[in-house]
Every structure is written in structure tokens, then in C-alpha cells.
Structure 1
Amino acid sequence: MQLPSTLSGVKPAGLRVESVSWGGAVRGSPDEPIISDISFTVLPGEMLAIVGPNGAGKSSLLRCLYRYHRPDAGRITIDGEDIWQMKPQAVARRIATVLQEPATDFGLTVAEIVELGLTPHQGRMNRHEAYAAIGDALQLMALEHLAPRNFASLSGGEKQRVMIARALLQKPDILILDEPTNHLDIRHQLEVLALLSRLPATVIVSLHDLALASAHADAVLVMARGRQVQYGPALDVLTPHAIRETFSVEAVIDAHPATGRPRFSFHLDQTISGRP
């Protein structure tokens, strides 16, 4: 999938996370934050994959990155500017999100949901340019035939593709996606990750599939129990030892015979299978 000109023109931003913690009050104790002391830097145009077991704090971290949760400690900056010192509309123009939670559709069609991606750019695009961009976003995600359908009538995978199309229409400098391959069939998983890795934007994505993370991301952040375990290039971070310690499974990593990319095979070790 190639990005059409109507959806290009973004200026990828650098994102820096400095000693961020959040959620102590939610758990009931300031000493037990949901995420704690997270620090990393994503360079403009890079793709970061965040991986970890369920409950690791991946979604909570993403909510801090797109200015939904204000950190209890630390700071998050875009090109050196603290996101909490920026106006909400300025953040909305620079950051787009695709979330796990089903979107509220209010009876809208697929085309109308995608069109919402233009909201931060109102007054910056004429009607002809807007229609062309909407059409290109629908085509890019293979949604043209679904344009008049009610969003609520779609399958989970179709809804996910609609939300990605809406985010692309926003033309963000930073695109944040929480488990974007959930509900997608194998072909669409591969196509979506390939597209994300080629976007001119800075991309931050949480994933369960370590093979997809390794194949497409420039860097991987491994989380467990709200803490940062490792951060760095996928081949340095996703080792059998790190996978065993983080996910409580044994891993065998070899080269895929067709692509040469890392291939992960997992099995339970009875000595660690009872871990929480």
C-alpha cells in the first residue's frame, strides 16, 4: 500500500518520555503507580513497538503519550515542547490515535467516521481537497465498498481499518495505535504493519505479536508490571532470555525461510508456567 499525495505532507516529530509515572491514586497508593519511571526517545520518523504481557501498562502509557492521562511525575515532549503546555487543538493536529475501545458511531456511516479525521484541520482544506483525501483514505484501507454502510454494522476488523483510515486523514506528525492488529485477518495485519512502517510520521504502536514488532519496528520497548524492562533495537531486546523473563514462555528464534526476518516459536516450560 502506497500513501497517496492527499495524505502526505506531515512533518514527523520527535517524542521524548522522561521518567514518567502515572496511576498511584488509581491503585490506592502513591507507592504503587500503574506505570513507573518510563523513559525513552523516539526520533522523527521512527516506529516504536511497545510489547508486554496483559496488565503490563502498555495502554496506560499510550494514554499519557496522547495527553489523556497527565503524568503524576516526569514529562512528555514533542520536539522539545511539553504536551501539557500545548493547546489541546495543537496536540490534536500533531497526534492521531487508534484505540482498542470501540468508537461511538452516533449512527454515522463509514465515510462520515473517516471524515472526522479532518476536524483538526477545519478551514485548512477546500471541499474538493477534503473529498479527495477521504476517498484516498477509504481506498488505502480497502473500504470504498463500505463507505455508505453504518459503522455499527461492521465487523471488528472492518471497524479497526476505518479508525486507521480516519487517523491517516488527520495527517499526524505522530500516530499512536493501541493493538491495531486486533480483529484483523492475517493479510490485513501484514498490510497494516507494512503501511505503518512506511509512513512519514513517527509511529508508536502497542502489539502482542513479537514477530510483527521485530519485523517492522525501529525500536522495541518491553514492559512488565508497569515497569520498563528493556528498550532498544528489536534484535537486541527480543532475546529468548528476555522473552522468558517477561512473558514466562520459552522462545526459539530463527530466520523465516522466505523473508529472512526473525521467526518466533513459543512453548511452555513447566518450571515457569505457573508464574503470574
Structure 2
Amino acid sequence: MTAPLLEGRGLGATANGRALVDNVSLSLVAGARLAIVGPNGAGKTTLLRMLCGALPPSRGEVRLSGRRLDRISAAERALSMAVVGQTDQPDPRLALIDYVELGRVPHAGLRRRHDDRDIVVEALRRTGLLPLLARSIGSLSGGERQRAQLARAMAQEPKILFLDEPTNHLDPRARGELLDLVAGFGMTVVAVLHDLALVAPFATSVAVMNDGRLHALAPPREALAQPLIREVFGIDVLRLQHPTEDRELTVFELPARASSPS
């Protein structure tokens, strides 16, 4: 049996006497892509922050390659984990290539290695940003800035990539393209996702959160099944044959209301 790369054991987090996350356990092997989903306030981001070490759990523990995360220094964690959050606000005057090069800091502090620039250029190439390397961050579109954050994370050469709602503020096509890009990296990913339609094409497993509790941890088709989705989100799941292509469509929508008697 393959040993887990990342484990959360009985994780809990409280704030002002309220449980934000309650007794959540999960594990990921190398190469897995976990999507964390749930309604607003379900504890998704709190769980992700505990798994990446940004928030110490009130209860339980996180282990990285068998080692307790709280016993690994922040500098050492940065060699294994990269986080793309919602609040990154780099100086808009910063050149894209210089911003992405910040991903190399955990490897050598402020000293340059001979291959740092090659790694940065490759990260820009893989995210489709190489032609823009001299542009300032402030001149990039929203989608380009999201890919710039990914490029910086890729330059960090992490074992695990954490994404907190990475598709926010992107149009529908850009959302799918961004997650396709991440899936193509071939690394272990933990992602909080808001749009349920994006989950199945991206994730290898899904953690369904509600009221701070883990309601399901399963492959996408099982985790996104009708009874569970109706219970947690209050919506229906419809699986339909595509009218022109040999594939299935999954549609999420509000349940139809019964007609009022006339």
C-alpha cells in the first residue's frame, strides 16, 4: 500500500467558541488531486489552511511524509508546499519574471543558483506566460495574474500545491482551462473549489464539507451523487447524454418547486 504524502488526523479548528472544522481526517498519496467543496461557511478554507500549515489546528495533527507538520520549520515546509491563495497582492510595477522568481527564494534564500532562471523560464513556459515575461504584473489580465501565481508556485518546485478557490473572478472557459493546466502538472494538489461543474474533470477525490464536518471523501461520481448533493447544497444533480458528443453532461440546478394549487 502506498504511504500517504499528506495526512490530516482528527483535525479541528475553533473561533470564538464556534467549531469551524470538527474532527476531519483524510489522506492523499502522491499525484492525487483533492477538491474540497461545500456551501459558504462549511470550513473549506479553514481545512486547507490547516493542511498547508498556515493555521495550527485546535485539535488533531497534520503529517507530511509521515512527519508532524508542526515539527517542520516554515523554511523546510516551503520546499515541499506551495500555496496559491485569494489575497496575493504583488506590487503591480513588478516584472512578471521577477515575480515568478520569488518562488525560488525557499531554495536558496536571496542567493541565486545557476539554474534558477532556467526553472523560472520553464514555469512561465508551462503556464503559457513566457511571451509576457517582461510585462508588469499590473498590466496583466485577471486570468494572466492567476497563471502568474501558478508559475510562481511551480518555480518553487513543491511536492504539494494548495489552491484556495483559484477560479474566482474568471470567466467559464478560463476556469476550465486553469484547472486543466494544473492537472497537467502531474503533482499532488489540494484545491478549494466553488463551482461543482469543475470538480469531476479535475479531481481524483472530493471532500464534501458542511457545517465544519466531512460528509464524504470519495471519487467525484460518488461524492457528487444526487442524495448527498441535495442534502448538503440543496440542489439537484442531473446526468444527461450530450446531444452531439459521446459523453455525459452533469448539470447542477435548483430543485423544481411544486406548482401552487389554483
> When the two structures are superposed, what TM-score results if normalisation uses the length of structure 1?
0.84
Q: CA deviation at 1:106?
A: 6.8
Matches within 5 A, 1:154-165: 154-165=140-151
Partner SS for 1:231: strand
Cα distance in 2 for partners of 1:37, 1:72 equals 10
* Aligned-pair identity (%): 35
For residues 109-133 of structure 1, the C-alpha deviation after alignment (integer angstroms, 9 at most, x for no partner) is 2111111111111179733x22222
Confirm or deny: 8 A CA contact 1:157 1:182 kept in the other structure.
no
Query: Are the structure 2 counterparts of residues 262 and 206 from structure 1 closer, same or farther at C-alpha, using a change threshold of 3 Å?
Result: farther
1:63 aligns with 2:49: yes
- Name the amino acid aligned to 1:15: L
Matches within 5 A, 1:180-259: 180-256=166-242, 258=245
Cα distance in 1 for partners of 2:206, 2:42 equals 14
Q: For structure 1, list consecutive stretches of 5 or more residues without a partner in the other structure.
A: 1-11, 272-276
For residues 200-225 of structure 1, the C-alpha deviation after alignment (integer angstroms, 9 at most, x for no partner) is 32111111222321122111000112
Matches within 5 A, 1:65-104: 65-104=51-90
Runs of 4+ in 1 over 6 A off after TM superposition: none
1:260 aligns with 2:247: yes
Query: Are the structure 2 counterparts of residues 259 and 18 from structure 1 closer, same or farther at C-alpha, using a change threshold of 3 Å?
Result: farther
Confirm or deny: 8 A CA contact 1:13 1:173 kept in the other structure.
no
Deviates more, 1:54-63 or 1:251-260: 251-260
Cα distance in 1 for partners of 2:112, 2:246 equals 41
Partner SS for 1:103: coil
Q: For structure 2, list consecutive stretches of 5 or more residues without a partner in the other structure.
A: none
Aligned residue for 1:19? 10
1:133 aligns with 2:112: no
Deviates more, 1:104-113 or 1:84-93: 104-113
Query: Are the structure 2 counterparts of residues 55 and 135 from structure 1 closer, same or farther at C-alpha, using a change threshold of 3 Å?
Result: same
- Name the amino acid aligned to 1:133: I
Partner SS for 1:183: coil
Cα distance in 2 for partners of 1:20, 1:256 equals 41
- Name the amino acid aligned to 1:163: Q
Partner SS for 1:44: coil
Cα distance in 2 for partners of 1:231, 1:238 equals 10
Confirm or deny: 8 A CA contact 2:7 2:63 kept in the other structure.
yes
Aligned residue for 1:39? 25
Confirm or deny: 8 A CA contact 2:234 2:254 kept in the other structure.
no
Aligned residue for 1:7? none
- Name the amino acid aligned to 1:145: P
Cα distance in 1 for partners of 2:201, 2:249 equals 7
Query: Are the structure 2 counterparts of residues 214 and 233 from structure 1 closer, same or farther at C-alpha, using a change threshold of 3 Å?
Result: same
- Name the amino acid aligned to 1:172: P
- Name the amino acid aligned to 1:266: E
Partner SS for 1:181: coil
Partner SS for 2:78: helix
Cα distance in 1 for partners of 2:246, 2:51 equals 33
| 2:103 maps to which of 117, 122, 127 | 117
Partner SS for 1:195: helix
Deviates more, 1:235-244 or 1:147-156: 147-156
> When the two structures are superposed, what TM-score results if normalisation uses the length of structure 2?
0.88
Cα distance in 2 for partners of 1:47, 1:117 equals 21
- Name the amino acid aligned to 1:166: R
Deviates more, 1:40-49 or 1:244-253: 244-253
Confirm or deny: 8 A CA contact 2:32 2:189 kept in the other structure.
yes
Please tell me the root mean square deviation across aligned C-alpha atoms, in Å.
2.2
